[in-house]
């Protein structure tokens, strides 16, 4: 920026062209409403054992000028990518991450990534690709000889990426086209991209940053396709950053969001790598050149390899919670401040209106549902990692994968819906980059396809549930603990009637669980009947399976995910009530709203047999009343869990509620806000066209 422009910016900042704006007490007044919430207890319960580290990272970011959303609002793509490297340099080594420390404290690196995601998912993802996808792939698929790669990565001596997705294949990993042909004479693998669509594509960190990559390729041994295997290989010189001969790397170009992530493509032209590049936990090649695997079936082997890469999907669930939290911080605080219409002289806060409450408050309830399942993942991931090592085909691993697949889909769909509604609920001002909602909206949208397309991913959940019910056909019991609520008898399922006649009865926890469990059972039996119905007029079971997705197996998987979330949410509330009865009472009401919301969104299914028209009206009336009651306390709740302003970065959601003053300040600080356009001569020329 030129000296003159810098002086103009300072001058504009010190002497605004707008009339003075008095202090707006609207948000302060809203905080005086409703029941008490102990913010400290709620936040500590929200973060559990991660509280101290997350607060330390937040404090560091709040005091380092490289973390500044308003500066970044007008950054170019390259400038944004550069800023993210500055931010990583600022905070990464504060975490003291190492191979040993992350083995001892499983959540240590995830706590750093979580805090960075509160600031920007682009920043968090740039590091997550390296710390989780790259490192975890080597840990889960490699052996002891690969530990040095992991140690170098933790010390940032290498920067890695995760080369799975190709231009022509994303979710269908089994059909990847990149090949790795084994040359036994030289004991090397020859990596090749045989077609245009075999180019690795959308690989985060590849475009400009990484010098190492885990590459998934079709292993060819003695001319025979042995299925997909993974290789850790150098893709740039660590000093010059040049690509090796026979490796072509480029940038995937402008995206609709997340420009801070340098997604790239890579092509291999018979690129030779040494034997030890093969991550050989499950597959290896003997000294006499023969392929050997502990899992003979290559499709099953691939499935187990994918199960081991759970960290990225858990990260998407975490990101969904954070996107919702950031969007609602802006939308709820702004709605308390924004005044529109009334029947008297004094305009009402937009948050006073039932329509605005109904748009926003259910999403606040969903945040805690997602947080509850994240806490369950945090607790169970270390256990599952050990189970994967011991028995990757075991029930515990399959059940965890089914839960994660369902919850990843449900959470990212929740986030997408929430952020869009927050943008709409905050009107035209939210279209400003300084509101930060546009950035959050575009970032949230990637979650539904990142780490597995939701519609494809949750089919794995559906298969798990149906396999469990198939056990009963052979006289076995359902052995998955989370499916003990399954009712095998179709007649009993269809005889179910919801046991409520008024809101008080509906909002009883046991009644709510009965209804949600019925939904799971109902959709299970409907899905089974649908499969039987279409099998006769389908080419094969693959065709029949696909004909059973819409309205059936997809909804079954979603119902399972929401049931698990609800189960963990209830536990979250009970534990909070033990710590603080008043705060627990508020969050319990959010739990009830979340549960009633599931019923309301699926009333058509319930009214098929389980509910009558009167009960449907009770459900709708309860939704509106709960939203109204919670509107009075929602600011206190979001205050407790919201990140600081410097991390949140929205003028609409600033903690002091000075929306208009902050927006004007940021707009006036922008470069050239009062300048004449450089294209003024062109405008004047256009004006002269008609005269000539």
Give the whole-angstrom CA distance, residue 652 versus residue 634.
16
Residues ≥6 apart with Cβ < 8 Å to 321: 367, 370, 371, 374, 411, 415
Q: Which of 340, 335, 339, 390 is nearest to 364 (CA)?
A: 335
* Strands 188-192 and 200-203, bridge-based pairing: unpaired
Which structure tokens are listed for 137?
């792939």
Contact 563, 516 (CB under 8 A): yes
Distance of alpha carbon 274 from alpha carbon 676, whole angstroms? 61
Contact assessment for residue 661 and residue 21, using Cβ atoms and an 8 Å cutoff: yes
Flag whether 461 is marked binding: no
Are 220 and 179 within 8 A, CB to CB?
A: yes
Residue 379 makes CB contacts below 8 A (sequence gap 6+) with: none
Active site (catalytic) residues: 451
Both structure tokens of 24: 């707006």
User: How far is CA 415 from each of CA 41, 54, 137, 267, 640, rounded to the nearest angstrom?
Assistant: 25, 22, 27, 35, 20
| Contacts for 337 with CB less than 8 Å, ≥ 6 apart | 24, 26, 27, 349, 657, 659
DSSP state for residue 550 in the 8-state scheme: I
Nearest one of 216, 183, 176 to 198, comparing CA atoms: 176
> Within its chain, how far is the Cα of 77 from the centroid?
22
**Annotation-wise, does 115 bind a ligand?**
no
Q: Residues annotated as binding site for FAD?
A: 165, 204
Question: Could you tell me which residues are annotated as the binding site?
Answer: 165, 204
């Amino acid at each position: 920026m030129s000296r003159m422009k810098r002086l103009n910016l300072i001058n504009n900042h010190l002497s605004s062209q707008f009339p003075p704006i008095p202090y707006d007490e609207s948000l302060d007044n809203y905080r005086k409403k409703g029941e008490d919430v102990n913010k400290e207890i709620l936040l500590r319960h929200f973060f559990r054992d991660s509280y101290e580290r997350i607060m330390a990272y937040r404090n560091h970011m709040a005091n380092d000028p490289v973390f500044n959303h308003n500066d970044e609002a007008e950054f170019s793509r390259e400038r944004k990518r550069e800023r993210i490297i500055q931010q990583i340099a600022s905070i990464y080594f504060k975490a003291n991450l190492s191979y040993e420390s992350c083995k001892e404290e499983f959540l240590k690196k995830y706590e750093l990534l979580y805090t960075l995601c509160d600031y920007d998912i682009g920043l968090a993802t740039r590091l997550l690709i390296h710390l989780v996808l790259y490192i975890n792939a080597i840990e889960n698929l490699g052996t002891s000889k690969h530990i040095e790669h992991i140690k170098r990565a933790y010390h940032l001596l290498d920067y890695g990426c995760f080369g799975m997705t190709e231009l022509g294949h994303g979710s269908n990993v089994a059909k990847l086209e990149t090949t790795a042909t084994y040359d036994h004479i030289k004991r090397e693998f020859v990596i090749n991209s045989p077609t245009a669509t075999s180019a690795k594509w959308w690989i985060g960190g590849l475009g400009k940053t990484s010098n190492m990559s885990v590459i998934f390729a079709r292993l060819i041994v003695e001319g025979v396709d042995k299925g997909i295997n993974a290789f850790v290989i150098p893709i740039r010189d660590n000093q010059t950053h040049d690509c090796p001969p026979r490796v072509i790397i480029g940038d995937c170009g402008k995206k609709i969001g997340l420009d801070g992530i340098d997604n790239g493509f890579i092509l291999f032209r018979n690129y030779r790598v040494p034997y030890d590049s093969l991550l050989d936990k499950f597959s290896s090649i003997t000294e006499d050149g023969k392929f050997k695997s502990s899992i003979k079936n290559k499709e099953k082997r691939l499935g187990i390899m994918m199960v081991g890469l759970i960290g990225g999907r858990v990260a998407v669930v975490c990101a969904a919670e954070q996107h919702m939290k950031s969007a609602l911080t802006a939308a709820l605080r702004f709605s308390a401040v924004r005044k529109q219409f009334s029947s008297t002289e004094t305009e009402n806060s937009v948050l006073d209106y039932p329509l605005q409450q109904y748009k926003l408050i259910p999403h606040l309830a969903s945040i805690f549902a997602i947080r509850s399942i994240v806490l369950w993942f945090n607790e169970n991931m270390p256990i599952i990692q050990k189970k994967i090592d011991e028995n990757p085909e075991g029930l515990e691993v399959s059940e965890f994968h089914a839960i994660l697949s369902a919850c990843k889909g449900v959470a990212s769909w929740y986030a997408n819906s929430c952020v869009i509604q927050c943008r709409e609920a905050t009107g035209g001002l939210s279209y400003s980059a300084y509101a930060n909602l546009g950035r959050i909206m575009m970032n949230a949208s990637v979650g539904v396809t990142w780490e597995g397309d939701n519609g494809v991913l949750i089919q794995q959940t559906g298969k798990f549930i149906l396999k469990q019910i198939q056990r009963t056909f052979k006289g076995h019991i359902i052995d998955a603990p989370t499916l003990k609520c399954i009712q095998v008898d179709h007649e009993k399922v269809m005889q179910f009637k919801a046991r409520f006649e008024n809101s008080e009865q509906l909002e009883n926890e046991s009644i709510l669980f009965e209804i949600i469990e019925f939904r799971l059972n109902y959709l299970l039996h409907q899905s089974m009947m649908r499969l039987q119905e279409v099998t006769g007029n389908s080419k094969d079971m693959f065709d029949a399976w696909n004909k059973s997705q819409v309205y059936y197996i997809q909804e079954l998987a979603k119902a399972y995910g929401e049931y698990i979330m609800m189960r963990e949410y209830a536990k979250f509330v009970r534990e909070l009530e033990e710590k603080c009865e008043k705060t627990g009472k508020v969050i319990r009401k959010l739990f009830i709203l979340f549960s009633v919301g599931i019923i309301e969104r699926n009333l058509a299914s319930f009214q098929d047999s389980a509910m009558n028209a009167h009960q449907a009206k009770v459900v709708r009336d309860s939704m509106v009343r709960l939203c109204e009651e919670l509107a009075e306390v929602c600011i206190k709740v979001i205050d407790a869990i919201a990140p600081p302003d410097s991390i949140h970065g929205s003028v609409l959601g600033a903690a002091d509620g000075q929306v208009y003053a902050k927006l004007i300040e940021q707009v006036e600080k922008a470069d050239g806000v009062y300048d004449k356009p450089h294209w003024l001569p062109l405008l004047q020329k256009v004006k002269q066209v008609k005269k000539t």
